[in-house]
Structure 1
Amino acid sequence: MDILFTDLDNTLIYSRKTDIKKRISVEVYKGEDNSFMSKYSYELLKKLHERLLIVPVTTRTYTQYERINLSIVPKYVLCANGGQLLKNGVSDNEWYLKSLEIVADSAAERQKAFKMLEKDRRRIFECRNIDDLFIFTKCDDIKAVVKDLKSELDPTLVEVLYNKEKLYIMPKKLNKADTVRRFINEYKGERIFAAGDTEFDKGMIELADIGFAHKKLNMKNTFNEYEGLFSDYYLTKVYEYTKE
């Protein structure tokens, strides 16, 4: 069966800041609508669900993912950048324990980063150790924080990644490309599609037989020339491919 690996935030679902004329709420947080899909993508996802395996791949934790109510219930979801695998909504402990083994060599660097960030006055959010897999927080003057961290941390063991004010200290071995390879080795797949919008997603997109990248990534050898909403575009293209 074909597989579509898709990032979630700003790829399939969007914040209230995104201008979507006909939209459907897919996440409620603290009593407020927090994330949306276009009505078009919402309905098209249901049709695609009948044609191929749809696997969301997200840096969201299991708890954060649980808040999302897509038009489908994916059989598999890769959370925490692939460190956690949900099967029919239940965390696969064997997968998680293997993930801990994979990232074990970066533990000291992650702890070092955690201590640095706890003392950093530019930090505007608590430091979180996500499932003993990676470190997350938020900072002002993010580029300067990243520069300082990179000067102190071993780049062969961890990556310092950011998206706006969000900051991640991610094990080199915990990335979406390796996660997708790991999943395919276990569950196979005839043709691989992948879509994403940030640096986190590049490796996954490049690995796919057919990749879709948000315009801001400016990637070659991918589908990224579109107008309008990215999700409407790439879901339509996947739908056309799967009609063959």
Structure 2
Amino acid sequence: MIFASDLDRTLIYSKKSMALPNDQSVKYRLVETLDGKEISYMSEEAISLLSDLNKELTFIPVTTRTIEQFKRIKIFQNEICPTFAVTTNGASILEDGKLDEEWQTKIIKDVTDNCLTSYDFLNEFQQIANDEWVLSNKMADNIFSYCILDEAKIPEKELHTFGEWGKSQGWTVSRQGRKLYFIPHPVNKGAALQYLKEKLNHPYTFAAGDSYLDYSLLLQAHRSFIPQHGQLMSQLIEESHIKPTIQKGILASEEMLQNVLDYYFGSTLNLNDSNLLSAVEACKMWSIDSSTLRKRVKDFPEGTIRKFGNSYVVTKQGMETVFGVPESNQKTSLST
């Protein structure tokens, strides 16, 4: 099995994006620096969970960062060292730190055959861009480019029109806060994951991501998670396999990793997958807290609950036996 996950604001966080609880009880560790400046952190619990997960599944970091930017995250170079990594929004795949040349060749051909040249595309953008709202321009591994914006001065109507034109030319125009990305259509995280699933013969996949650029990744997985703070939470998600977390910020990373471990270990016990719930999902569905669940563990019928790490995997039948039908289901039944 594969766990493919975005990094920034999914597994790793700046201090500004951590959203720590008021009691500041979360222990976290610095995982990235740049020129002596502290950049990104992970919670100690998330590191522990990801370390356990990396021993059981094939963990694949999937990021819009360039190769150089990815390698700045030292925990993935020195401690939790995945064999594969996807960088540059899917344009580059690393295996043991080396480029997958087969994938690189395919990407270059697909972009050349299906997209307007970068030169012509960016020339068109210059027709609406100026120094008042475009503060800088950067190229990512010679594959795509992005701008840093002054959000207060963006000409929204003109940018929307340009984005629609970009689609017709084989380009995605995606705004992520202060960053505006220009990415050729063949370059996406989902396509890279599909390639690795086939290469590794690992069809069953978990995924996690927070932004619009992660959507193709989440669609490729069997079970996917969006952190509650994620950009994708503003989008209507119709796919039932994509679930939001309860927690926000750095605690969402712990929740997603625990859910992946719960589902993984549950599936190895041959529990009915369609009826399988993580403890987090079960508590949410039955409107109870985790302490209530722990107190009733001995009341569950045999084979309907298992403990993994600090949490549990349960079946719907087991929950109904102990706690009855969820209140939401009761209301539905009464209204029909």
TM value normalised by structure 1 = 0.91
Deviation for aligned residue 1:43: 1.1
Count of residue pairs brought into register by the alignment: 242
Residue aligned with 2:9, SS? coil
Contact 2:138–2:146 (CA under 8 A) maintained in structure 1 = yes
1:24 is matched with which residue: 24, 29, 49?
Answer: 29
Identify the residue that residue 48 of structure 1 maps to in structure 2.
Answer: 53
2:69 to 64, 75, 78: 64
Structure 1 distance, partners of 2:50, 2:245, is 21
Q: CA deviation at 1:106?
A: 5.0
Q: Measure, in 2, the Cα distance between the counterparts of 1:151 and 1:50.
A: 44
Confirm or deny that 1:124 pairs with 2:135.
yes
Q: Look up the equivalent residue of 2:163 and give its one-letter code.
A: K
Change (3 A) 1:153 1:31: same
1:113 CA displacement: 3.2
Show the counterpart of 2:87: 79
CA contact (8 A) 1:24 1:37 kept: yes
Equivalent position of 1:111 in the other structure: 119
Is the CA contact (8 Å cut-off) linking 1:105 and 1:157 kept in structure 2? Answer: no
Gaps of 5+ in 1: none
The one-character-per-residue Cα deviations of 1:127-162 (angstroms, maximum 9, x if unpaired) are: 233233212121224462632522543435111001
In the TM superposition, 1:81-160 aligns within 5 A as 81-117=89-125, 120-121=129-130, 122-125=133-136, 127-140=137-150, 141-142=153-154, 144=156, 146-150=159-163, 152-155=165-168, 157-160=170-173
Separation of aligned partners in 1, 2:80 and 2:155:
38
User: What SS does the aligned partner of 1:223 have?
Assistant: strand
**Bigger Rg, which one:** 2
Q: Answer yes or no: is 1:227 the counterpart of 2:247.
A: yes
Quick one: percent identity of the two aligned structures? 28
> 1:171, 1:235 → 2: CA distance?
31
The root-mean-square deviation of aligned C-alpha atoms, in Å, is: 2.0
SS of equivalent residue, structure 1 residue 63: helix
SS of equivalent to 1:25 = strand
Offset of residue 190 of structure 1: 4.1
Given that residues 54 and 74 in structure 1 are in contact (C-alpha distance below 8 angstroms), is that contact kept between their aligned partners in structure 2? yes
**Separation in structure 2 between the aligned mates of residue 225 and residue 146 of structure 1, nearest angstrom:** 32
CA gap 1:213/1:143 in 2 versus in 1, 3 angstroms: farther
The alpha-carbon deviation at position 166 of structure 1 amounts to: 0.5
Give the structure with the higher percent helix.
2
Deviation, structure 1 residue 204: 1.5
Q: How many angstroms does 1:201 deviate by?
A: 0.9
